[in-house]
Amino acid sequence: MTMENISELKSVKTKYSAYLLSLPNVEGVGIGLKVSGGKKTQQIAIKVFVKEKISRDNLAASELIPEQLEGVPTDVEVLAPLRAN
């Protein structure tokens, strides 16, 4: 991945972060490798961190996380609970 691509990826993340964070259940937004079938792929994605995964059937159309943003794939990942040591 070139620096230009990284810059574009960061720009897309910045542009859509507020929107994604306004969706129910969304806790954070980042950039990372897409996970498919429980395994990391080599595909860079906008990571959308949620409290829990909810079936698309149980969400209104306005609550769905887009599969991609300006051609950049998204990846929904459940946040592990935070614990103080």
pLDDT at residue 34 in the model: 94
pLDDT of residue 3: 61
Give domain 3-78's CATH architecture.
2-Layer Sandwich (3.30)
What is residue 2's predicted lDDT score, i.e. its pLDDT? Answer: 63
Question: What are the structural domain ranges in the chain?
Answer: 3-78
Q: Which long-range contacts (CB under 8 A, 24 or more apart) does 20-25 make?
A: 20/46, 20/48, 20/65, 23/63, 23/65, 24/63, 25/50, 25/51, 25/52, 25/54
Q: Which amino acid is at 77?
A: E
Q: What is the pLDDT of residues 35-80, one digit of tens each?
A: 999 899 999 999 999 999 999 999 999 999 999 999 999 999 998 7
- The residue ranking higher by pLDDT, 81 or 59, is 59
Per the model's pLDDT, the better-predicted residue between 39 and 82 turns out to be 39
| pLDDT above 90: residue 31 | yes
